[in-house]
């Protein structure tokens, strides 16, 4: 059984999908804590309603990365709560080497694009502007790059002629809520290994 520590900055829709997958028996895991760099984030409210420890960590003085004392605090909290796997669910900070060393090859992220295409912010808008016909989402292991880690699961979403950024993003999120539990279930079942830059399903 995986012991998940979830890091998020927003509403927590992916965290909700994981909690629902656990409750339905589709994912052999438990969520041991939820940590957010945003004091009023919905993901913390979600955790509280499920009786999961919900913790705000101030990321100052940095704005776009988790580093320094804040990173040390997060590592300490994850260890105190017994996390063995770290799940980024809308966490809007870059992960740095300290956390990567603390949880080697046990940090996962979900990105709203078919990586390596459209890394970074608002990937759905990037896809529309580029005239892409297909978008989707990617679950990957985290490394020190921006959305560059080994890919575990991808799900595709067609880009419609009348799509807006909002409508495309909404359909991508529907697939995210399926892809993240799927990827973590593979990890929980011991069916993943990393060889170089590739994830091998066994």
Is 202 a member of any domain?
Answer: no
Nearest Cα neighbor of 3 from 91, 90, 80 is 80
The pLDDT-based confidence of 11 (bands split at 50, 70, 90) is very high
Going 144 to 146 to 149 to 153, the CA torsion angle's sign is: positive
pLDDT band at 169 (very low <50, low <70, confident <90, very high): very high
Whether 142 is in a domain gets the answer: yes
Report the domain count for the chain.
1
Q: Does residue 78 carry a pLDDT above 80?
A: yes
Q: Domain of residue 159: give its range.
A: 2-197
Catalytic residue among 111, 140, 169, 177: 111
Query: What does the alpha-carbon distance between residue 137 and residue 199 come to, in Å, rounded to a whole number?
Result: 16
CATH number, domain of 160, equals: 3.40.50.170
Q: CA-to-CA distance for 164 and 130, rounded, in angstroms?
A: 13
- Would residue 56 show up in a list of annotated catalytic residues for this protein? no
């Amino acid at each position: 059984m995986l012991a998940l520590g979830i890091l998020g900055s927003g509403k927590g829709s992916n965290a909700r999908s994981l909690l629902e997958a656990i409750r339905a028996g589709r994912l052999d895991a438990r969520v041991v804590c939820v940590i957010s760099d945003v004091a009023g984030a919905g993901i913390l409210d979600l955790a509280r309603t499920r009786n999961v420890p919900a913790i705000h960590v101030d990321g100052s003085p940095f704005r776009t990365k988790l580093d320094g004392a804040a990173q040390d605090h997060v590592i300490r909290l994850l260890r105190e709560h017994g996390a063995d796997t770290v799940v980024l669910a809308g966490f809007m900070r870059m992960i740095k080497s300290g956390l990567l060393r603390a949880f080697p090859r046990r940090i996962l992220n979900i990105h709203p694009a078919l990586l390596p295409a459209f890394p970074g912010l608002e990937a759905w808008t990037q896809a529309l502007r580029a005239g892409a016909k297909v978008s989707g989402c990617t679950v990957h292991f985290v490394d020190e790059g921006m959305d560059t880690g080994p890919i575990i699961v991808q799900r595709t979403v067609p880009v419609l002629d009348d799509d807006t950024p909002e409508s495309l993003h909404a359909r991508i999120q529907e697939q995210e809520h399926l892809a993240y539990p799927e990827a973590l279930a593979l990890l929980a079942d011991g069916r993943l290994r990393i060889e170089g830059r590739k994830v091998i399903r066994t």
